[in-house]
Amino acid sequence: MNALSEEIAIDVIVEAGDWPEEETLCALVERAVDVAIDVAGVRLAQGAELAVLFTDDAHIARLNADWRDKPKPTNVLSFPATPAGSARLGPLVGDIVLAGETIRAEAGDQGVSFEAHLTHLVVHGFLHLAGHDHIEDDEAERMERLETAILARLGIADPYADPATGEGDPPDENDE
């Protein structure tokens, strides 16, 4: 465990769906969150806690309907517990919920590995908890730059690059 991991307790819950072993998921989440904290300059309150729920499309569709009025599956949902604009996250950082079937389908459609896409979505979800968003164009660009920098540190290619040229406009996001 590195120094950043010691600053945040991460609770990984595998509820439903076809996921890798819990130990593998814990390592993936810890690594992604550690790098996101470092690159994004996230400040954590002492005793910060994060929950990551691995579930299926049926459950995330219910959550998406209940919380966002969109009754369909999505890849990731984030539920921040820290008020927007706080200088530090925590002690309860929030929850990230991931949907297995959607993530597998998107990875296949994008021609990337499941692990790379899952890592991207953990980073994406964590950045939402840290107060980043992609509603306005300037916010989206800032968030995409952060995601790209974090993923580069993790050895994952830019998910927003045009596959033919390696640059250009990002592909359309899931409806999140």
Binding-site annotation: residue ranges: 124, 128, 134
Cα dist from 84 to 7, 80, 130, 133, 152, whole Å: 20, 8, 8, 11, 27
What domains lie within the chain, and their CATH numbers? Answer: 5-153 (3.40.390.30)
Of 174, 32, 12, the residue nearest 115 (C-alpha): 32
Distance, CA of 134 to CA of 14 (rounded, Å): 28
Q: pLDDT truncated to tens, each residue of the chain (176 aa)?
A: 344 446 899 999 999 989 999 999 999 999 999 999 999 999 998 899 999 999 999 999 999 999 999 999 999 999 999 877 777 787 899 999 999 999 999 999 999 999 999 999 999 999 999 988 887 778 888 989 999 999 999 999 999 887 665 664 444 444 44
Q: Coil, strand or helix: which one is 126?
A: helix
Of 156, 72, 63, 159, the residue nearest 109 (C-alpha): 159
Binding-site annotation: residue ranges for Zn(2+): 124, 128, 134
